[in-house]
Structure 1
């Protein structure tokens, strides 16, 4: 059994010319792909097995990420089901010269742990052992509720 904080991953992608759309900003499909990949890593860190994407609960693009900026993906698992793992994902744009950062994208993904034959496999509950674990879980559950009410 892992903790919420043990599944926390932060990854960076520099937005290159082949990552952008006609407006010189990161293509939404690329941001979604980066989020999916990092989210799967958080899920796999908890499950100890391969995890596949089962659902994406809204994908809100709040602002663009310009070419040359860094896209930071923050991900962590916050809840589990029989074979599912719910993961909170947020993307930020960061100016690589100043380090200034602002959130650009938020979503909640559900991954399913699978065995070698791609059949769903049981996952353990997540442990909430520290104040940081509790804070991350509470923020995710509150954000998930807020998104579903909009």
Structure 2
């Protein structure tokens, strides 16, 4: 299989935070952000693998800044590294105070997705070809994160 540029998997989802998305403090539910992360990571992984995918793991998610009702949430993801059947997907969540307002990083996460065939069993995926400096940096540091995941799984 030929390597696939990371840009082929890049996926962006933009949403407006509405009242049903928020808790009693007027900030977005953490579970809503996790759902966005999982959904956008899955789309990026499917674009890379050209197959359905399942979520294998979501690395820890740190909520770095609050997102309030009326804010705009931008979730961006791309495949940063691949194994034989798995893909590490880098996901960055940004929030914006209304249209044209201040932007800030809300959360960053790495999601591991596994490509599956029609029978539901894992199938091989192409390697990823990093192009930008950000993609190269994430690609080079991925084996260390992979090793940490393996250790965590053993515990």
On whether the aligned pair clears a TM of 0.5, the verdict is yes
Judged with a 3 Å threshold, the aligned counterparts in structure 2 of structure 1 residues 145 and 22 are, in CA distance, closer, same or farther, namely farther
Higher mean C-alpha deviation, range 105-114 or range 119-128: 119-128
Corresponding residue for residue 35 of structure 1: 37
- Choose which of 102, 105, 118 in structure 2 pairs with 1:103: 105
Aligned mates of 1:65, 1:97 — CA distance in 2:
14
Given that 1:53 and 1:110 are in contact with CA atoms closer than 8 Å, whether structure 2 keeps it comes out as: yes
Question: Between Structure 1 and Structure 2, how many residues are aligned?
Answer: 144
1:50 maps to 2:49? no
Given that 2:81 and 2:142 are in contact with CA atoms closer than 8 Å, whether structure 1 keeps it comes out as: no
Given that 1:75 and 1:87 are in contact with CA atoms closer than 8 Å, whether structure 2 keeps it comes out as: yes
TM-score, normalization by structure 1: 0.87
Corresponding residue for residue 137 of structure 2: 138
What displacement does 1:115 show? 0.8
Secondary structure of the 2:84 match is coil
Corresponding residue for residue 87 of structure 2: 85
Alignment root-mean-square deviation, CA: 2.0
What displacement does 1:139 show? 4.0
Aligned mates of 1:4, 1:55 — CA distance in 2:
20
Higher mean C-alpha deviation, range 51-60 or range 95-104: 95-104
Aligned mates of 2:4, 2:101 — CA distance in 1:
31
Aligned mates of 2:143, 2:22 — CA distance in 1:
29
Unmatched segments (≥5 aa) in structure 2? 149-155
Given that 1:4 and 1:137 are in contact with CA atoms closer than 8 Å, whether structure 2 keeps it comes out as: no
CA shift digits 1:91-123 (9 cap, x unpaired): 111123324210011110000000112111111
Given that 2:80 and 2:138 are in contact with CA atoms closer than 8 Å, whether structure 1 keeps it comes out as: no
Aligned mates of 1:117, 1:64 — CA distance in 2:
41
Unmatched segments (≥5 aa) in structure 1? none
Aligned mates of 2:52, 2:88 — CA distance in 1:
15
Corresponding residue for residue 115 of structure 1: 117
Aligned mates of 1:32, 1:2 — CA distance in 2:
27
